[in-house]
Chain A
Amino acid sequence: MLTYIARRLFIGVFTILAVTCLVYGLIRNMPGTPLTQMTETANVRQMMDERQQEELMKQYHLDKHWIVGYGYWLGNVFQGDLGRGINFSDRRRVTTIIGTRLPNTLKLTVTSLLLTYMLCIPMGLYSTAKNATPGERTLAITLYILYALPTFVAAIYLNLFFAVKLDWLPLSGMTSENYSSLSTLGKTWDVLKHVILPITCLTYGSLAYYTRFIKANMLETIQQDYIRTALAKGVSPRRALVVHAFRNSLIPLLTLVGLTLPALLAGSVILESIYQWDGIGRLFIEKISQRDYPVIMGLVLMFSVMTLIGQLLADVLYAVVDPRITYS
């Protein structure tokens, strides 16, 4: 097992090297550099003279071939330094820039993940127990439609109904303008009102997917002999379903946990820009248009490390839970 993990980690390092090298090459070959993007938007006072620009180019190795620049970047990463943002509006360390945005994204994604798990398990069990009844069919069709509903369409429809027509919830933003003057209770209420719609949009799709997933697995499990044996020995159908069958169908569910890990950190580009949520997804779009290489690279590094850890975690958990699976 340990050799398996070690081998996977070893391969993973190479995968990350390849991903970062690919992305670095890609972004360095985009038309425009961080400096040209800056002068386009900055006013005259902020414009730098040529000498200063050249200095900056040197500092960030923009004057050399991209592969050399990648080498410098990689060297710094191995020393634990992701660099600083190039754009004049934000010269903080990359880790700080990402660190200030990450809690906002996590606020949405973690809540959504917890909600999904809390709802999908009872719904999946209900679907299995009441399979092919009218109630279950209605639920299945609703879930299927939700699964196919694109997030931004859902977000717009929810906005049209709850924010425009009923005017119950705010259209976008993370807090109201008068947030700082509110009482503690008022603040909580204000935050709650702002997160309801984005969290709903983030949750319904995965909820539909997970419920269908659990149902499919459970339907397969309850066909097995040991369930029939349990029932023959007088276990109540409810107990057979919840205790005997559900335990075994938890195994595939575990792999899903591993695979959602990167999505937790990446957030959602679309939802964050609709709700003007200052999270990771929006940061990425902003930095792509500013050509802020160090920040983009920092984000890509984070995504790829998380994806690989998630995959590894899923495989390892699988072997831990199911003794039939061994990696050698």
Chain B
Amino acid sequence: MSAVQELAEQPIKPQQSLGFWATSWRHYRKRKFAMAGLIYVIFLGLVAIFSPAIVGTKPIVCYYKGNIYFPAMGYYNPSWENAIFTTGDHFNNRYEPNLKQNDPNSWAIWPLIRQDPIERVQADWFEGQPANPLSIEGNPSGQHYFGTSSVGVDVFAQLVHGTRVALLVGFVSMAIASVIGIVIGAVSGYYGGWVDFILSRFIEIILCVPTLILVIALLAMVVSPSIWQVVFVIGLTGWTGIARLTRAEFMKLKQIEYVAAAKAMGAGPLRIMFVHILRNALAPILVPISFGIAGAIFTESALSFLGIGADSQTPTWGDVLKEGQDHIRSMWWLSFFPGLAIFTTVLAYNLIGEGIQEATDPRTRDV
């Protein structure tokens, strides 16, 4: 057999066309601003995950009295800081002198910048590192990139550790809102009739009260809300947009033949709603979710800024901004940097939302 024949006899494989998400990703990738937003959010995610390794006064890894410890984990959750350093040997965050004094053989790997988001670093904390300046002395400098607060806490450290709260608030509250919104929208759009009537009125009721006012009223129910309660309340009030869009998508999609085919094959309503229809409705729903994350970050920092936010140990961006507002005449850096952090994050999520909208909508993506 000649080579030509061999080629001819090979079955011609039809080139597999790209799926919906792969095509959308191709279109999304072409949009510079949307990509910039995505890269920024990924960067923030990395900052949030590695925050204790970037700024902190607790060693990332240390060898102490024959064991290896990871005290920096305490920044994620105070109870994860090894008990030997807190209640055991009473380090009180002064790791360097205590390690040396209690165990000459000890060693430690330190975070890149030795500053704490909660406490002022004193002169005796680290060898060769002076105490943090206070109030108006705390101008941004090579030692303190974003300056220090009125009680001498490093603002850079506060913002880096605040990233964790900001991202968490966005994701978790929108996860709650998405579940509520998608379920209510799906049921309302799929069943129609009086179910739709009642659920639509319910959405209308929630929409009647301005969001921030509803959040404030709900938060007043608890005496001193934790960050999780704030997240929960933001999620509980932020689902109406998602529900309305899901409802509209479901009303449109349920009339397409494939739904009838699925019904004819005996699929139940739950299967049709959440396996068959939701898949096709997911792309447009992602858009308000992305905008919603921006909105949730905005609401949380607005609440902290107004002084009715969460009682969290680690200061949030809004907390720093509030302190800045109190000292606006003398300490500009306390307002400028947290404001920039909130603004850029909200902007990035908005760019992502817009990018998804344009990349998944066939009317706009081929332009």
Contact = CB atoms under 8 A, between A and B. Distances in A.
Say if A and B assemble together.
yes
A150 B298 contact: yes
B329 interface: yes
B212 A164 contact: no
B217 A156 contact: no
A284 to B, nearest CB: 6
Contacts of B212: 269-270
Contacts of B220: 27, 30, 288-289
Interface string A281-296: 0001100110000001
A16 B209 CA distance: 10
B301 A150 contact: yes
A18 B201 contact: yes
B12 interface: no
A186 B212 CA distance: 37
Contacts of B350: 144, 147-148
A148 B305 contact: no
B209 A304 contact: yes
A303 B208 CA distance: 7
A29 interface: yes
Interface stretch (B73-81, B100-108, B165-173, B339-347): B339-347
A153 B216 contact: no
A23 B306 contact: no
Contact of B210 (A29, A159, A296, A303): A303
Interface string B188-214: 000000000000010011011110110
Given A148-B294, A148-B346, A159-B328, A153 B339 contact: yes
A19 B208 CA distance: 7
A27 B217 contact: yes
Nearest to B298: A150
B302 A19 contact: no
A23 B209 contact: yes
B42 to A, nearest CB: 18
Given A26-B218, A29-B221, A285 B335 contact: no
Given A19-B205, A266-B213, A31 B346 contact: no
Contacts of B213: 266, 269, 284, 303
Contacts of B308: 285
Interface in A271-288: 273-274, 284-285, 288
A18 B205 contact: yes
A160 interface: yes
B332 A160 contact: yes
Interface string B31-47: 00000000000000000
Given A153-B342, A160-B336, A285-B216, A270 B329 contact: no
A152 B321 contact: yes
Interface string B276-310: 00000000000000000010001001100110100
Contacts of A159: 328, 335
B313 interface: no
B325 interface: yes
Interface string A130-173: 00000000000000110111101100110110011100000100
Interface residues of A, number: 46
A160 B332 CA distance: 7
A150 B343 contact: yes
B324 interface: yes
A303 B347 contact: no
B38 to A, nearest CB: 15
A52 B210 CA distance: 36
Contact of A164 (B204, B217, B223, B329): B329
Contact of B221 (A22, A30, A157, A266): A30
A155 to B, nearest CB: 9
Contacts of B343: 148-150, 153
Contacts of A308: 204, 208
Nearest to B350: A148
A188 interface: no
A160 B217 contact: no
Contacts of A30: 217, 220-221
B217 A171 contact: no
B207 A307 contact: yes
Given A26-B218, A269-B213, A288-B220, A15 B205 contact: yes
Kindly name the residue among B201, B208, B223, B329 whose own CB sees the greatest number of chain A CB atoms within 10 A. Answer: B208
Interface of A: 11, 14-16, 18-19, 22-23, 26-27, 29-31, 144-145, 147-150, 152-153, 156-157, 159-160, 163-165, 171, 262-263, 266, 269-270, 273-274, 284-285, 288-289, 296, 300, 303-304, 307-308
5 contacts: A26-B217, A153-B321, A160-B335, A269-B306, A303-B213
Given A23-B209, A160-B328, 5 more contacts: A11-B201, A30-B221, A150-B302, A156-B328, A285-B216
